[in-house]
Amino acid sequence: MTAWTPARIDALRIAHPGAFPDRGLRMWAGRAAIAVAIVLFVWGLDRLGFGFVRLWQGSGELIRVGGLMLPPQTGGMAQTYALAIAETVAMAFLGTLAASILAVPLGFLGAKNTMPVAPFRVAVRRVFDVVRGIDSLIWAILFVSIIGLGPFAGILAIAVNDTGVLAKLYAEAIENADAEQSRGVRATGAGRVQVIRFGIWPQVVPLFLTNTLYFFESNVRSATILGVVGAGGIGFYLMDRILINAWPQVAFIILLILVTVAVIDWASHRIRRRLI
Amino acid sequence: MTTAAEVEAAYHSARRARLGQTALIVAAIALATALSADLGEVDLARLWNRLDRFGSYFGRMVPVLTWDNLWGDIAQWFRRFDRWFAGLIDTILIAFYATAFGAAFAIAGAFVAARNLAPAPWASTLMRRVFEFARTVPELVFAVLFVFSFGIGPMAGVLAIGLHTMGALGKLFGEVAEATDPDALRGVRSTGASWVQVMRFGALPQVAPAFLSYGLLRFEINVRSASVLGFVGAGGIGQDLYTAIKSFHYTDISAIALMLIVTVALIDQISEYLRHRIIGAEALRAAA
């Protein structure tokens, strides 16, 4: 066995530079990069108003509020809250239903294999991006301004936002459909519409349905907060009870949301499993 | 021998059964729709009557741009660009810190939550419940609570989205961690390493690419969520957008929305590029 002389280590260092830590200029460049990253990280935190004192005092306040929430109480409003949560689920259901129906033709217009006119397809895709880039809560206040307060504005917000997202997902599903089957259908002399109906449609329907169910689950969550801007659902009461510091009722509403979301997730999960 | 008539009869009965099932599903959806429409105060007549208001509302958002004074008009459109840009930077920073802090806690928690790695079964169950709670409560609810306790400002927003991110990523990270190769862990354990060391040197290198990829995806989502935190006083561009909508400054709405859309699209593109690179590098390593 050869001895580990400095000369041999140097030779190894030249042969396998990756196995050794950097030295000299490269080492200092690495350290400088880390230092700059740390400075930037701290600068950003400072810009956002982070501070240990604030964090400490806020945590204390949060624990105090958490203590006030126990035990959760209905405050005699159980029926109102139950109705509001039903309204929330209804908003999510209708919004998702409308979006998933609208997204089907839009998805076919945005997919490469069913929409050969490239400029049109790209334009359609850009519209999806614009719609998607705006959060459903922003759509909700826009619709509240146009159509007035209430759950209908929330339904429209969910429908519009989800049409953008679902159309994109549907378009991707259509593009990923197996081309062999379409070719087979075309070989029988089928027209364009028939190729879509018998070649592509059967392949993409399960994907459409599972995506739609996923979005229903996620929309139940989003619908719970649309009430913050007056677009219906349980969010209005949640915001209101926080503003008047009715903490036991706040806790009750949060629990109600948790239970509802869990039940919807469970049901949707079961349906999805059957679909696949 | 099955005759043609028998085949046909079987076909028709199977078809009838399927039609019956479809009819049942359609009826159930129709019933749910009717019920929801009633609860959701759906009023198609009102929608129809106000259809022109949609046109005028969005129409008024289009700024007056003349060819002669194009730059002046654009400057007028983005008249508070500096303020909005600062808000946008805050929004991105909120999303960044929320993703970073949320991911850090999620990584630590994921190794406890993963059933094959957990130091004890009860710890795994407890961690899962914590994650579940953190991701089920909507971010905005946390934001309202945090604005109340930490004061108005972006810090409340970071904490709210961070907490939600911890829950969402913790679940995904936990699932990735459950798929780690036990041989590598056994190898590290055989050298006398502690639980923390086994996780650091045995599990972390296996899961890091997937964690990074999920983290980037979450960052994209968080930029969108951070854009509305201002509605409840938790910082970012949402505050200006809310003011613009509430005071019917139509062109301000479109200017802010445009800045937001461009930012979100840009971040999505960069993140997608990075994610493909991470996955690409991982695929290469797997092939080597």
| Chain A residues whose beta carbon lies within 8 Å of the beta carbon of residue B144 | 228, 238-239, 242
Q: How many CA atoms lie within 13 A of B243 on its CB side?
A: 12
With b for 16 or more beta-carbon neighbours within 10 A and e for fewer, the A126-151 pattern comes to ebbebbbbbbbbbbbbbbbbbbeebb
| Chain A residues whose beta carbon lies within 8 Å of the beta carbon of residue B30 | none
Least confident among A160-174, B5-19, B61-75, B199-213: B61-75
Q: Which two structure tokens, joined as six digits, stand for B196? A: 């923390």
Question: What's the N-to-C CA distance of chain A in angstroms?
Answer: 62
CB contact under 8 A, A91 and B40: yes
- Cα of A22 to nearest chain B Cα, Å: 21
pLDDT band at B164; cut points 50, 70, 90: very high
Q: What is the pLDDT of residue A171?
A: 87
| Chain A residues whose beta carbon lies within 8 Å of the beta carbon of residue B50 | 146-147
- Cα of A121 to nearest chain B Cα, Å: 18
Instruction: With a cut of 90, say whether residue B176 has pLDDT above it.
Output: no
pLDDT per residue as tens digits for the range A203-216: 888 888 888 888 88
Q: What is the pLDDT of residue B39?
A: 81
Q: What is the pLDDT of residue B288?
A: 46
pLDDT per residue as tens digits for the range A67-108: 888 888 777 778 888 888 989 999 999 999 999 999 888 888
- Percentage of chain A lying above the pLDDT 90 cut: 7
Q: Which two structure tokens, joined as six digits, stand for A208? A: 């459409």
Q: Does A38 touch chain B (CB under 8 A)?
A: no
Spatial CB neighbours of B156, under 8 Å, sequence gap ≥ 6:
B143, B146, B147, B149, B150, B229, B233, B234, B235
Rg, Å, chain B Cα set: 27
| Chain B residues whose beta carbon lies within 8 Å of the beta carbon of residue A153 | none
- Binding-face residues of A in 202-231 toward B, CB within 8 A: 221-222, 224-225, 228-229
pLDDT band at B101; cut points 50, 70, 90: very high
Tally of CB atoms within 10 A around A55: 13
- Percentage of chain B lying above the pLDDT 70 cut: 96
pLDDT per residue as tens digits for the range B108-123: 888 888 877 777 888 8
pLDDT band at B1; cut points 50, 70, 90: low
The minimal CB distance from B265 to the residues A94, A133, A221 is found for: A133
Total residues found in chain B within this entry = 288
A to B CB pairs, distance under 8 Å = 152
Q: In whole angstroms, give the CA distance from residue A111 to residue B128.
A: 39
C-alpha to C-alpha distances, A244 to A237, A239, B4, B148, B149, nearest whole angstrom: 11, 9, 75, 11, 14
Q: What is the pLDDT of residue A1?
A: 55
The residue that leads in pLDDT, A19 or B220, is B220
When pLDDT is averaged across residues B129-136 and rounded to a whole number, the result is 88
Q: Which two structure tokens, joined as six digits, stand for A252? A: 């009750």
Q: What is the pLDDT of residue B35?
A: 84
Rg, Å, chain A Cα set: 28
Average pLDDT along chain A: 85
The minimal CB distance from A141 to the residues B53, B137, B245 is found for: B245
Pick the residue from chain B with its C-alpha nearest to A135: B224
Q: What is the pLDDT of residue A36?
A: 92
Closest CA to B44 of A216, A258, A94, A1: A94
Helix (H) or strand (E) run with residue B214 in it: helix B204-226
Instruction: With a cut of 70, say whether residue B197 has pLDDT above it.
Output: yes
Q: What is the pLDDT of residue B285?
A: 56
pLDDT per residue as tens digits for the range B60-78: 887 777 787 778 788 778 8
